[in-house]
Structure 1
Amino acid sequence: MIKTSTVNVENCVADEESRLAKTLKDICDENGKEKDSVKAAEIFHELGILYQRKAEISHSKICLIQSAALLNAAVAREPENKTFTKDLRDFCSYVLNKAQVKNQGYDLVEISNKIAKKVTTLRKIVLKILEISASGKSVVKQVKKNQRQISQKYINVMHELFQTCISIFEGLPCKFAIAGLGSLARNEITPYSDFEHIILLENGIEDDENYSETQEQFRWFSLIFLIILINLQETIIPSVAIPSLNDYTTPGGNWFYDAYTTRGITLDGLMAHACKNPLGRTFETKDKPWITELIKPVNKMLEYLKSDVSLKNGYHLDQILLQSCYVSGDKGLYEQFVEAVRRKKKENKFSTQCQVMQGLNEDLKNFDAFTDLMRMRETTQCNIKRVIYRSVTLFISALGRMYNIDEASSFSVVKSLKGKQIIDHETAEKLKLAVAVACKVRLSRYMEYKSQHDYVNCMDRQVTVLLKKYAKMEDIVQYFVIALALQKVLRNLDPSSLPAKLTFSFQPYMKYMVAYKLGYYDYITEDWKRDQVTMGDPWGKYYVARSLVKMLSYKEALNILKSVDTTDKTLSSAVRVDIGFCQKSRNLTRTLTPRHFLKHGT
């Protein structure tokens, strides 16, 4: 009878969720964006209460996270609604009660308000930092200093919040440490980045007869921390994967787009490919039918580094665990974890290289700088983080892992590669410049929009014009030149026989080819007057001439084309055609794509 009753309740809850989801969909446009925030707030409030009820039935902490996100979404849209604010506070009290916290007097909403003030202060500091602009070597030095400062201040905020959570529990049953992952570990964090982290427990605690209770207490500890983060009201609803709104496993199921909420500091999302938070992935999906939890003793956490385990557990989890930073808790325990990771890497050097290479091949397809470059001039849409940030930092990080470098930050990896004479001084300087440009562009973008606003959709102008707001033209050009050279080297690597020294090719004409594809014609013509090396390069001349044609300077373009050394048959054919166009004073409509030159290095 009890089982039947529970099933009936679950069915009623599921029916009510479907009804509310349909009601929300009816007030959204074709892109899933809400047209009426007041009505949407009412629906989110009802869904939030419903998910609290679902948590009561299923005993799921994930449902509590989802409830917190929904209730905060309602309050963010209608902050003066007393029912919404009361129910959010009641929800927080409910969680404290379920966690069996001795002192029930803590106000999680008020704690979040205090943290929000510190986050606001951090963002004001970053705005002042961005007022200082630099280029060339100075931009590397400045960005490197800025990112260290931002990362440390971000850690300070999280450390203080963890100390508050420890106070709420009046101590925890064993030694533990919080380790930050991702961009925080690489000193590439922004004041709007989510917080990827794990909880490490002391070795041996798993043999304690009360270990299951200890685990459960740390789960509640993590949940309360995450709810305080969600109370900052910067958690977009899609990131908590409400099945009726954002089902990432079913075609058409991911339909809701939260255009209202600021995408800022929060937990790493609950999507199956994410979940780099202590509670991890507590549910199975078709593509990821494995459960992951990131609250473990040090030795148990290391099992995620095994090749057969890592492939099962989300997007690059094993690689992400190789790079971490101390945030809070027992520092000695954290250092024990770091040392154990180093030993593991050395023991499984070849296996690690193969794992990295396997992920690398996938990344080279997904973040192909050449493909992105070919689209840049024509498109009005672009994902800044994917095109400008990941196409370099992701691959420098991979190089570091392949060559067994323990450093986490991209700058430090480059420094170590140079120190080991794997790359030369020129390559090191160029890679550092690319990292600096990547961090500066992403940071500037987020600070301008006060959100993790990666996706650019500028209907009235080209993306390449927009990029000049965040970095100088020359630096943007150099970024793509370096990204192309870096990815080309990685494509040719054999993990079973890594070369002692990597050779990067930065051919003179490459900056003009890149600038031409970006539509920076004035940069090409001005730089050519000063650059004696590229001035004599046949392909360099060719792109100068094509830029002049784009600027309608046909006579000057014709003179340059006639002076090009056409020993190269492909170039000879292109020049001949373009001379014909110039002589007829017509705009060139044909664009040569020298993919084979990049591939073969000729």
Structure 2
Amino acid sequence: MTSPTTGAIGGAKGHQPISYKQHLTKGDRALTDGKLDEAEENFASALKLIHDPNKPDRCKEAECLRRLGDVYVQLGKTTREGRKFTQAAALYNAAMARTDEDKQKAMKRLVDVEQWFLHYTANVEINPCSSDLAIRHQERLEDMRMRAKSQLDAIDQQHNPYQFDEDDPKMLTVEAERAEAVKALFKNIAKDRQMFIQDLVEECIATLGPPPCKYAFIGLGSQATELVTPYSDLEFAILIEDGKDNDDTRRYFLNLTHYLHLKVINLGETILPAMAIPSLNDFPENDWFVDFITPRGFAFDGFMPWASKTPFGRDKTRKKPPVSLIQTPVEMAKFQRLDISVSEGYHLSDILRRVVFLTGEKALVHEYMGKLNEIITDDLLSQFQPRLSAKQILWESKEQLFSHEPTGQLINVKKDIYRFPGMAIEVLALCSQITLASVWNTIDNLKETEKIQGENATHLTVLISISAELRLKTYISNGGQQDSLSPLMKVNYPSQPQNMSESTLKSVFYIPDTSVLFRYYCRAIPLKKCLLDVIKNSWPIPQKRLITTAIFDTSNQCRGRITRKLFLSDKSLNHFEAALKDAGCDEREKPEILLELGSHWLSTGNINKAISLFEQSINTRKRLFGDNTANPGIANSLNNLGLSWDELGDQTKAISYYEQSLTMMKTIYGHKSAYPDIASSLENLGNSWNELGDYKKAMSYYQQSLTMRKAIYGENTEHPDISKSLNNLGNSWNKLGYHKRAMSYYEQSLMMKKNIYGNNTAHPDITTTLINLGSSWSNLGDHKKAMSYYEQSLTMMKTIYGDNTALPEIVQSLNNLGTSWSKLGDQRKAISYYEQSLTMMKNIYGGSKAHPYVASTLNNLGSSWSELGDQRKAISYYEQSLTMRKIVYGHNRAHPDIAMSLNNLGLSWSHFGDRRKGIGYFEQSLKMSKTIYGDNTSHPDIAMVLDNLGSSWSNLGYHEKAIAYYEKSLKMKKTIYGDTAHPDIAQSLNRLKSSWSKLGNRKKKN
């Protein structure tokens, strides 16, 4: 059967594509006629036409999935294959998850599928089944989950180490007690699951009849390691009695597995990709159906080639033969042989090394473990197989191994938190030839055999317990196997600000206290660093300790980095200041700490302090490595000096530092290398040129940065750096006046950031893009919409930093809200926001200190008072702003902000009636703008001043002079915007028309 490869299938050449309804009609006809392949193809094509994971049409999806279920029922009846019936059941369950159709009717379908499976596949005739049994199974599973949640709540109450200060010795004691309580909880969960599975298997056997030989179901994966949750997949294999491996035995146990699978599917928590239905998810070539809607919980391990940890095993692939996990103990143990381990990539042998009894004959499990131990302690292999396996595990887990600290992004709790500690225990067990399944028992054994010290055994237990607890809490909070955990705070808007796609509204667990993450990383970071040494020192198998140093780093530098990544700014500052004292005269430690401290002060607005620290960092490194050495730390400090001068408004100086940094990085990494730091320098150069008004040059740098980032992270990867590049390209288009195009970039950036950090996560990067979207809507004249974005941004920043925290970012949002109210005509409200902003800035920068943000707010206050008609007050604010800008940027220096203050003073003096004085200010502004941007450069700021000069001369009756200025402005705007229908060009044409009219030249007017 062929799977659909396009959204719609056309007929002969020239025919229109077939619609959704037409596909359903054709599929229904084919199903009635028994043309099952054709029916499946049409129903799958209809589904593909309407399938959008971001905005799913649940009703239409359910309609298609029900029909596909009907097809698979008929395929089951025709082929008698058990898998067709389980696929039908999964399709019907997925349809139920999408609609509120008659539940009785839906349950009847599932009951019928069970009967048809028993009749056609298992050759068993029974009375009609009842759906009550499936409901009882669901209730039992829910009870298991509620019990786990209740026990977690009790642990939180009885053992709370996070109430103590980090340096309080009680914290370690209570942490160890909590870890023991978590260990007991997970042992209970594993036992509960084992009993549940045992009862399900016994139900199946009661219907199918007794098995033809002795057997044992063995649990694999987290069931074996005792880290399983009530939401985890079921991974297992079947051992059968030696001498009874024949077709009849295999057929019975395959049917038993299918029947068990049917019961598990009817719990309603099996997502469709796990079923590998060829027309939806044909791995790897045609895997297109995404299932975010069906709850993901207790289910069989999927049929994907990289999964398949069930008795069904794996079908033949291009490179590997089929594998069955129904074997005798002797044959199952052979997966540990070196040749098979290597051909399978070690993963299968690793999984089958750690097993636990589920149901059946325990003696078979003992026999299997005996055979397994014989193979892995064989003289020929024991010297190097464990080391090879351990190295392979580390290689496959390199992403987790080399990412040390949190990033503020959404954490995949399974990949980023849970997997590493388990992998570390597995490596330690391999290097010690320990074959115990339970991680808890393995740690005890490592301690008893003195492979690790008692203190480190406690740290490992705490680390494992934190990872397991966080995974369980995430699944409980998210209602299933949805792994998204946020280390940041959730922002609670008064109302949902905008309709987001269903994919971005995936559940996220917002961790209530980040102290637990802090304690996790304090152990995970040193453990990651010593694992490579463990492998290196384990040849031959060591008789000594595997880990000789404490796997617990409470140094101020480590704490500072972790708290910074978690946006705990004050804590981070305290730790880095303490780290600087700890470093004393150690010049190797100091430069990085100075760089971190400088970055803190840069982000909180104390620019001069930041510059001093960056310069100290550079000088220290130069003493260490030499004046002319290209060093990554020096390059980073040069880049940060550029950022600092950018903040102070000296873009020329900033560009000089960025270029030095870029040159050094290219020397270090290679001139043609794609490297994150090089991409950042290109971006920063773009920012400076943007501020200097050369938007096309800025855009060129942004585009280079974006191209490089896509080369590094992947063309379609969602990454914070790529979202930043999109945001910056939006800034350039905004400055060029293409606000809708800018908005498109901002929206792409915002969507990406929300997917990275979580839809309702409070993150500084999201606030930046919200502000920019507000700015675009403001430029398009929709000030209410602009205000909505500014308010979202302000709410988010207060969530991150606190309601009463004074920060430059909050100042910016208050200013933006003031500007929106000003443009809506409510100058009094605007003034209120500007005054709040001004008060906050005085708290940040000092009451009388000159700062660019203070000067901008004074300028805005001047604009509002000018609009209210109080030109004296306006002029007073404009003059204060101008004086401050000259202090900040230099009295004799040409700067865009100074030029803008001169322009605004010109406007107020013109409105006050002194047009000659106004013209004087406009001419100063024009001269300065030409000095900044170049005498022959076309720039929006120059065009604006030319317009103002034109208006002033027109009001004085000098229309020829006015026309000359308007024509210069028009020519400049056409150079900037091209021959497009741009509002600024239309404004110039109208002014020219008016001036010609006043001159009485009707011909020119027309």
Q: Tell me the TM-score range normalised by the shorter chain.
A: 0.7 to 0.9
In the alignment, is the contact (CA less than 8 A) between 1:525 and 1:547 conserved in 2?
Answer: yes
User: What letter matches 2:97 in structure 1?
Assistant: A
Alignment pair present for 1:362 and 2:395? yes
Aligned residue number for residue 242 of structure 1: 277
Distance 1:574 1:137, change over 3 A: farther
Secondary structure at 2:322 match in 1: coil
User: What letter matches 1:473 in structure 2?
Assistant: T
Deviation at 1:315, TM superposition (A): 7.4
Deviation at 1:280, TM superposition (A): 1.6
In the alignment, is the contact (CA less than 8 A) between 1:274 and 1:314 conserved in 2?
Answer: no
Q: Matched residues in 2 for 1:28 and 1:235: separation? A: 19
CA displacement 1:365-409 (0-9 Å, x = unmatched): 343342x747x23x4x44221111112222322221232112223
User: What letter matches 2:324 in structure 1?
Assistant: E
Unaligned runs of 5+ in 2: 1-29, 162-174, 492-503, 626-630, 649-653, 670-1006
Taking structure 2 as the reference length, the TM-score comes to: 0.51
Write out aligned runs for 1:374-523 (5 A): 376-377=407-408, 379=409, 381-455=410-484, 469-470=510-511, 472-492=513-533, 493-494=535-536, 496-499=539-542, 500-501=544-545, 502-504=547-549, 508=555, 509-523=557-571
1:178 to 204, 217, 221: 217
Q: CA RMSD in A?
A: 3.9
In the alignment, is the contact (CA less than 8 A) between 2:488 and 2:566 conserved in 1?
Answer: no
Distance 1:156 1:81, change over 3 A: closer
1:123 to 142, 145, 170: 145
Deviation at 1:440, TM superposition (A): 1.6
Distance 1:580 1:470, change over 3 A: closer
In the alignment, is the contact (CA less than 8 A) between 1:27 and 1:34 conserved in 2?
Answer: no
Aligned residue number for residue 599 of structure 1: none
In the alignment, is the contact (CA less than 8 A) between 1:75 and 1:85 conserved in 2?
Answer: no
User: What letter matches 1:232 in structure 2?
Assistant: L
Alignment pair present for 1:265 and 2:286? no
Is 96-105 or 218-227 further displaced after alignment? 96-105
In the alignment, is the contact (CA less than 8 A) between 2:489 and 2:510 conserved in 1?
Answer: no
Aligned residue number for residue 3 of structure 1: none
CA displacement 1:142-190 (0-9 Å, x = unmatched): 3212211222112221122122122223321211111111111111111
Deviation at 1:459, TM superposition (A): 11
Q: Matched residues in 1 for 2:184 and 2:136: separation? A: 27
Write out aligned runs for 1:277-316 (5 A): 277-281=310-314, 283-287=315-319, 289-313=320-344, 316=347
Deviation at 1:224, TM superposition (A): 0.5
CA displacement 1:524-572 (0-9 Å, x = unmatched): 3455788999575845854456445544567887999999987755799
User: What letter matches 1:270 in structure 2?
Assistant: F
Alignment pair present for 1:80 and 2:102? yes
In the alignment, is the contact (CA less than 8 A) between 1:236 and 1:262 conserved in 2?
Answer: yes
Taking structure 1 as the reference length, the TM-score comes to: 0.83
Secondary structure at 2:323 match in 1: coil
Secondary structure at 2:218 match in 1: strand
Distance 1:270 1:578, change over 3 A: closer
Alignment pair present for 1:137 and 2:176? yes
Q: Matched residues in 2 for 1:71 and 1:579: separation? A: 58
Deviation at 1:125, TM superposition (A): 0.8
Deviation at 1:577, TM superposition (A): 6.1
Aligned residue number for residue 38 of structure 1: 59
Aligned residue number for residue 249 of structure 2: 214
Q: Matched residues in 2 for 1:535 and 1:512: separation? A: 14
Distance 1:169 1:574, change over 3 A: same
Aligned residue number for residue 95 of structure 1: 117
Deviation at 1:267, TM superposition (A): 0.4
Q: Matched residues in 2 for 1:461 and 1:75: separation? A: 31
Q: Matched residues in 2 for 1:35 and 1:579: separation? A: 45
Distance 1:575 1:220, change over 3 A: closer
Q: Matched residues in 1 for 2:455 and 2:611: separation? A: 35
In the alignment, is the contact (CA less than 8 A) between 1:356 and 1:402 conserved in 2?
Answer: no
Q: Matched residues in 2 for 1:512 and 1:389: separation? A: 23
Higher helix share: 2
Is 234-243 or 59-68 further displaced after alignment? 59-68
Aligned residue number for residue 600 of structure 1: none
Deviation at 1:88, TM superposition (A): 2.0
Deviation at 1:352, TM superposition (A): 3.0
Deviation at 1:68, TM superposition (A): 1.9
Distance 1:461 1:571, change over 3 A: farther
Q: Matched residues in 2 for 1:82 and 1:571: separation? A: 66
Aligned residue number for residue 88 of structure 2: 67
User: What letter matches 1:149 in structure 2?
Assistant: N
Distance 1:472 1:417, change over 3 A: farther
Aligned residue number for residue 135 of structure 2: 113
Secondary structure at 1:368 match in 2: helix
Secondary structure at 1:119 match in 2: helix
Identity of aligned residues (%): 24
User: What letter matches 1:39 in structure 2?
Assistant: K
Secondary structure at 2:282 match in 1: coil
Deviation at 1:429, TM superposition (A): 2.9
In the alignment, is the contact (CA less than 8 A) between 2:599 and 2:640 conserved in 1?
Answer: no
Secondary structure at 2:73 match in 1: helix
Q: Matched residues in 1 for 2:277 and 2:391: separation? A: 32
Aligned residue number for residue 352 of structure 1: 385
Aligned residue number for residue 159 of structure 1: 198
Q: Matched residues in 1 for 2:139 and 2:640: separation? A: 63
Secondary structure at 1:278 match in 2: coil
Q: Matched residues in 2 for 1:92 and 1:522: separation? A: 61
In the alignment, is the contact (CA less than 8 A) between 2:316 and 2:323 conserved in 1?
Answer: no
Tell which structure's C-alpha radius of gyration is larger.
Answer: 2
Distance 1:436 1:45, change over 3 A: same
In the alignment, is the contact (CA less than 8 A) between 1:179 and 1:198 conserved in 2?
Answer: yes
Is 333-342 or 488-497 further displaced after alignment? 488-497
Deviation at 1:42, TM superposition (A): 2.1
Unaligned runs of 5+ in 1: 1-7, 597-602
Is 323-332 or 131-140 further displaced after alignment? 131-140
Secondary structure at 2:398 match in 1: helix
In the alignment, is the contact (CA less than 8 A) between 1:441 and 1:471 conserved in 2?
Answer: no
In the alignment, is the contact (CA less than 8 A) between 1:529 and 1:535 conserved in 2?
Answer: no
What is the aligned length? 572
Is 218-227 or 241-250 further displaced after alignment? 241-250
Deviation at 1:269, TM superposition (A): 0.3
Secondary structure at 1:326 match in 2: strand
User: What letter matches 1:261 in structure 2?
Assistant: T
CA displacement 1:77-121 (0-9 Å, x = unmatched): 345165543332111101112354656137374332221111010
Aligned residue number for residue 524 of structure 1: 572
Q: Matched residues in 2 for 1:113 and 1:533: separation? A: 63
Deviation at 1:358, TM superposition (A): 4.7
CA displacement 1:438-481 (0-9 Å, x = unmatched): 11211111000111001469999799xx9994374343134234
Q: Matched residues in 2 for 1:108 and 1:362: separation? A: 50
Alignment pair present for 1:17 and 2:48? no
User: What letter matches 1:279 in structure 2?
Assistant: F
In the alignment, is the contact (CA less than 8 A) between 1:307 and 1:355 conserved in 2?
Answer: no
